[in-house]
Structure 1
């Protein structure tokens, strides 16, 4: 629970800064990183950069025990990281681009960069992706590392008519995976190195929604059965693929499914990133509670009523299905909530509740974002809180003039 001491610490550390301002608490970030490693129980963690979007934080966590590799969300991002890390201890970092690319210029840059070709892998889930690479680079292109993505959604009726999970790969069965693996290996210019399987219906749905016991029961029932089915199918897929080619890695999971994913013997590594930051969407999980490591402050600019304080801006909405869960949430001082009629807005965000009466013009309200990495698209820098002091500022991707999505 948020406390007045936490608010005093943040206010005092940033009193020389005018809000809006975003802060990363290194103690909370490091504690979250250690907790992810504890939960993974020996499985290496591949850091999902989409959930971080700050090179300082990526580099910090990659140098911690238990972390190996990056799950990038765009090929230009991966190429940029390769360049930035070329003369550092992170030069050999393995980078998996976790979403298919249709960026011809980036593919040409990858093909032309021998160092990048050694460390960067791209996702494919169909012959069409292979055809696109051939068309972009020419039939005699250098060997490109590729990772086959498996659809690990749950089909309770055994057919595609009922689909529980994200809409990603068309590859669902071991037979489909084996055929695509054989095609990849038979085509010149491609090297099959891995399989990725993200169980979004488990990792991305909190199993402990507040105030809704019926939904909680339904989610846990679904996730137990989905996990049971997935262990058998993912293992069969890996066997079908390794009958064709030896793999370097099998990636699965996310912050919300680590305990379930690590129990699958076919998985060699786990993807995670949001758990480092601790956004509000991870408040509804029963097995872990990340600390809010990145928070932002916006100022009070109006008092339209004694029990309402209006903040400047703050309407940093998260992606996904539109709804209350995608809105930022007042964090400090405690006892604040958004107004249902306005929510969080681009130019103003009214808050109410017991804590609003004591707020005055010029005070700051600390907020938490709903999703981890997307806050970095709103700020060019994070101010680093080390102990009780802000020691310096570090650029986000946006602050380095990088935007990949």
Structure 2
């Protein structure tokens, strides 16, 4: 059977809109990422999954250890879910600073969460905020210093994400010394996210020139970061021991794992392989997450209109952030309308074969954001549903 036939057969008793994850593809992607990580353990980026069962599935596989959370409140929720059992000792890194006073108070009051959780900081202002939220006599909070991983080839040119102001070994050492000096804090790690490599494909479909420019940039940015990160880690280790040095993302596993200063890598999107991950030269993950929308109108020849579908990915407001129609082959979004809040027209020769109630299968541009649209994912293997599991939304939680 074709993949479309498998999808349709597995879900024939369900009404769309619906979302599925192909377990064979998910598992194959997980194994491939372990191979690409070259022996470095992979910390699972939860924002790219947002389904507790799939996080647990990945963490049960050899080569995976720990979670990179996107919210302190999410980390506290995961700690509560895993308080007993095989994941009770899971280490969770909150990869973004928090200003949530009530969540900080919950953390400080929970000895288990204190042991399991560390929070990213990049300034003394973050330390001050925690002190104000908890009082200066609070129990030790595990913190991780974030190093800016962007590329700056010339003054005024910034290539990469706008995250930490800590860029040099000197700046990192100064902050590390302040963390060590202040009561109530324990510096346990360093992280850096090279978004200009990990999150930017160097072979975007139909854009050869753009791909060549990105490939050239990444070939220079990577070595510069390895030198600077290695120097920073050595300088901070002279101030205090570190439990981990985290780097990378799905798109840079080979590069990041080649850095001798890095002890672990982070990845998540590669497990589900959304549309934005079709454009990399060094790896081709298998699309694992798809969603189906029903045809509800036939407004004209060559056009079928689907219900809902405006699941636009975060980031730049460009065409590559729209959903990608997959099946039936040959359908595409209508350029002047795109994917809409309540309707999404598709065009192409295959659109003429669609009737009311038929399904069109699509992929989201990013990995985790699809879970915010659905209460549950149907996990399929071949032409059958193996199980149905709730997303974060289905479990009644939302972490922003």
> In which range does the TM-score fall when normalised by the shorter chain?
over 0.9
- 2:77 maps to 1:72: no
Question: C-alpha distance in 1, partners of 2:395/2:205?
Answer: 38
Shift of 1:291: 1.1
Q: Match for residue 242 of structure 1?
A: 237
Measured against aligned partners, the alpha-carbon deviations of 1:113-146 in whole angstroms (never above 9, x if no partner) come to 0001001000000000000000000000000000
Of residues 133, 136, 140, the one that matches 1:139 is 136
Question: C-alpha distance in 1, partners of 2:58/2:223?
Answer: 31
Q: Match for residue 360 of structure 2?
A: 365
Shift of 1:213: 2.0
Measured against aligned partners, the alpha-carbon deviations of 1:135-165 in whole angstroms (never above 9, x if no partner) come to 00000000000000000100101x3x11111
Moved more, 209-218 or 111-120: 209-218
Q: Match for residue 166 of structure 1?
A: 161
Question: C-alpha distance in 1, partners of 2:204/2:359?
Answer: 29
- 2:10 maps to 1:16: no
Of residues 251, 256, 262, the one that matches 1:267 is 262
Measured against aligned partners, the alpha-carbon deviations of 1:48-103 in whole angstroms (never above 9, x if no partner) come to 00000000000001000000000000001000110100111000000000000000
Q: Match for residue 382 of structure 2?
A: 387
Shift of 1:193: 0.3
Q: Match for residue 58 of structure 2?
A: 61
- 2:304 maps to 1:304: no
Of residues 69, 82, 85, the one that matches 1:88 is 85
TM (norm. structure 2) is: 0.99
Question: C-alpha distance in 2, partners of 1:130/1:26?
Answer: 42
Of residues 119, 122, 134, the one that matches 1:122 is 119
TM (norm. structure 1) is: 0.98
Runs of 4+ off more than 6 Å: none
Of residues 3, 22, 26, the one that matches 1:25 is 22
Question: C-alpha distance in 1, partners of 2:285/2:350?
Answer: 24
Asked if the contact 2:120/2:144 (under 8 Å) is kept, the reply is yes
Q: Match for residue 228 of structure 2?
A: 233
Question: C-alpha distance in 2, partners of 1:199/1:79?
Answer: 26
Q: Match for residue 396 of structure 1?
A: 391
Shift of 1:106: 0.4
Asked if the contact 2:323/2:362 (under 8 Å) is kept, the reply is yes
Secondary structure of the structure 2 residue equivalent to 1:118: helix
- Number of residue-to-residue matches in the alignment: 400
Question: C-alpha distance in 1, partners of 2:236/2:35?
Answer: 30
Question: C-alpha distance in 2, partners of 1:392/1:39?
Answer: 29
Counterparts of 1:180-219 in structure 2 under 5 Å?
180-219=175-214
Of residues 360, 371, 390, the one that matches 1:376 is 371
Question: C-alpha distance in 1, partners of 2:214/2:382?
Answer: 39
Q: Match for residue 340 of structure 1?
A: 335
Question: C-alpha distance in 1, partners of 2:173/2:357?
Answer: 62
Question: C-alpha distance in 1, partners of 2:100/2:208?
Answer: 45
Secondary structure of the structure 1 residue equivalent to 2:2: helix
Shift of 1:246: 0.6
Question: C-alpha distance in 2, partners of 1:315/1:387?
Answer: 28
Shift of 1:387: 3.1
Shift of 1:5: 0.9
Shift of 1:392: 2.5
Question: C-alpha distance in 2, partners of 1:221/1:8?
Answer: 41
